[in-house]
Amino acid sequence: MPQRFQNFIDGRWQDPKSEKWFDRENPATGETLGTFPDSGRNDVGDAVAAAVKAQAEWQRTPAPHRGEILFRAAEMMVARKEELSREVTTEMGKVLKEARGDVQEAIDMTYYMAGEGRRQFGHVVPSELPDKFAMAVRQPHGVVAAITPWNFPLAIPSWKLMPALVAGNTVVFKPSPYSPLSAYNIVRILEEVGLAPGVVNLVFGEDDTGAALVEDPRVGMVSFTGSMEVGREIAAYCGRHGKRVHLEMGGKNAIIVLDDADVELALEGAVWSAFGTTGQRCTAASRLIVQRGLMAEFSDRLMARASTLRLGNGLDDSVEMGPVVNQPQLQKVESYVGIGVEEGATIACGGSRLKDGELAKGYFFPPTVFADVKPKMRIAQEEIFGPVTDLIACASLEEAVAVNNDVPYGLVTSIYTRDVTKAFKAMEGITTGIVYVNAGTIGAEVHLPFGGTKGTGNGHREAGIAALDSYSEWKTVYVDYSGRLQKAQIDR
């Protein structure tokens, strides 16, 4: 019998009132990992009620004390890093080295936000009137709904939970049904370090569970990472109901390689950015925009490397790329490969599912490179979220930047060049939320803003101080100690 997991509501682990459950399997082996609640509206309602009940007390808890609890959680993650990492690999397939990175990112974020307990700077500025004090301080939204994807099972929940908590919000957390184990692990840790009942609540479930959470009128703010379609539905709902919303909805990121680039460095960056995490990152490089003078050499060397990456179970140390997360995702990748061929692109390597031997038990798809890709093809415009990347030729820096910017998303761009003038021109012209020079598209650090322009987001950012802006609102406070009526602009 696989282990049965429960929801965590008001400080108690409990079965779902819905009496419905789902199983999660290891995508590399097909083995069942556990059975989890498929929560219904009643379960979500209970979780939100618990979060509402706990919120005032949590907000009254001094922020430095809130931070100390997070600090203890970070310490516990450090102590358990290896087991947490193995469970990331078993539930969603990324190789163990990357899973450790995922856990480390959660640790970094938790320490960072613990420190914010003693900062959360506001503004104190001179008033334009005598005997008047002016400042702006942060206040929480109340109850935050955190809806997270499976590709960073520990890091992304920490990006949402930790800033929300340190800012004084309580949380109802609904993780992807494809990464429930890590969600359980992070909530267990918060419970063990002494978070009061109701401050964080966990409801497992599918899309309906998420919808019930978004629609609960007591939820003040929704933070969602996932697809553009779902994100836009959430935004529309929140717009109609005057609810705060933070969205992170993927990317169609490019690496620009100019003729003068360090080719070896660019190749390494491209292979890592396109095929790391099996291409299942918002930050994955799914377009390689290469200047014509370098295209032949770059594409030959890229294919040589991509086609020899070792696929397999991510727990095996020699494996370089794990499986795709599930059957629907595998079908999506396969269907985009078909679309690319129909559009006239050439499969330079990879292109079809691995069906032999041990790997046939899992959802394995090889690193796939499309050559002869035109910027307006669907494979060059839409997010595939798998191990597929496109080679697009360009004549100049200007053309490369224009092609880079001309997609519905705006998360990350990287450029390889040895020319400092070109690097600065690129930094200026690129419109994505994150830019790398002489590095791949992945490697964001927790203390800087993370997020993107256009279809990637809605103007908010995660991580860094920017996260506190997402999880709090400004309260501007004027204290007039003049003892008489002062009228700001009218008095001038």
Positions marked catalytic: 248, 282
How many chain residues touch ligand UN1 (CB under 6 A)? 9
- Which residue from 24, 94, 252, 281 is in contact with ligand UN1, where contact means CB under 6 A? 281
Q: Which token pair is 466? A: 């920017």
Q: Using CB under 6 A as the criterion, what x/- string covers residues 238-277 for binding ligand UN1?
A: ----------------------------------------
The 3-state secondary structure of 425-475, one letter per residue: HHHHHCCCCEEEECCCCCCCCCCCCECCEECCECCCCECHHHHHHHHEEEE
Tokens 């509402």 found at: 52
Nearest distance from residue 223's CB to ligand UN1, in Å? 13
- Which residue from 120, 176, 223, 283 is in contact with ligand UN1, where contact means CB under 6 A? 283
Nearest distance from residue 149's CB to ligand UN1, in Å? 7
Give the H or E element holding residue 23. strand 21-25
CA angle 249, 254, 255 (to 5 degrees): 145
Q: CA 279 to CA 196: how far, in whole Å?
A: 38
* Sites for ligand UN1 among residues 151-210 (CB under 6 A): 151-152
- Which residue from 444, 455, 457, 458 is in contact with ligand UN1, where contact means CB under 6 A? 444
Instruction: Give the nearer residue to ligand UN1 in terms of CB position, either 141 or 281.
Output: 281
Instruction: Give the nearer residue to ligand UN1 in terms of CB position, either 34 or 443.
Output: 443
Q: Any residues with CB less than 8 A from the CB of 399 and at least 6 apart, and which?
A: none
Q: Are 80 and 40 in contact (CB under 8 A)?
A: no
Instruction: Give the nearer residue to ligand UN1 in terms of CB position, either 438 or 486.
Output: 438
Nearest distance from residue 466's CB to ligand UN1, in Å? 15
Instruction: Give the nearer residue to ligand UN1 in terms of CB position, either 100 or 281.
Output: 281
Nearest distance from residue 430's CB to ligand UN1, in Å? 16
Measured N-to-C along each axis, helices 63-79 and 96-116 cross at an angle, to the nearest 10 degrees, of 160
Instruction: Give the nearer residue to ligand UN1 in terms of CB position, either 90 or 283.
Output: 283
User: What burial class does residue 476 get, using C-beta atoms within 10 Å of its C-beta: 0-12 exposed, 13-18 middle, 19+ buried?
Assistant: exposed
Q: Does 442 bind ligand UN1 (CB under 6 A)?
A: yes
* Sites for ligand UN1 among residues 99-138 (CB under 6 A): 105
Instruction: Give the nearer residue to ligand UN1 in terms of CB position, either 243 or 281.
Output: 281
Question: Within a 10 A sphere around the Cβ of 356, how many other Cβ atoms?
Answer: 7
Q: Are 266 and 285 in contact (CB under 8 A)?
A: no
Nearest distance from residue 166's CB to ligand UN1, in Å? 20
User: Which region, judged by CB under 6 A, interacts with ligand UN1, from 138-146, 227-235, 258-266, 438-446?
Assistant: 438-446
Q: Does 449 bind ligand UN1 (CB under 6 A)?
A: no
Q: Does 443 bind ligand UN1 (CB under 6 A)?
A: yes
Nearest distance from residue 408's CB to ligand UN1, in Å? 17
Each residue of 392-409: b (16+ CB within 10 Å) or e? bbbeebebbbebbbebeb
Q: Which token pair is 154? A: 């520990």
Q: Does 46 bind ligand UN1 (CB under 6 A)?
A: no
Nearest to 399 by CA among 367, 371, 368, 425: 425
Question: Within a 10 A sphere around the Cβ of 344, how many other Cβ atoms?
Answer: 10
Q: Which positions touch ligand UN1 (CB under 6 A)?
A: 105, 151-152, 281-283, 442-444
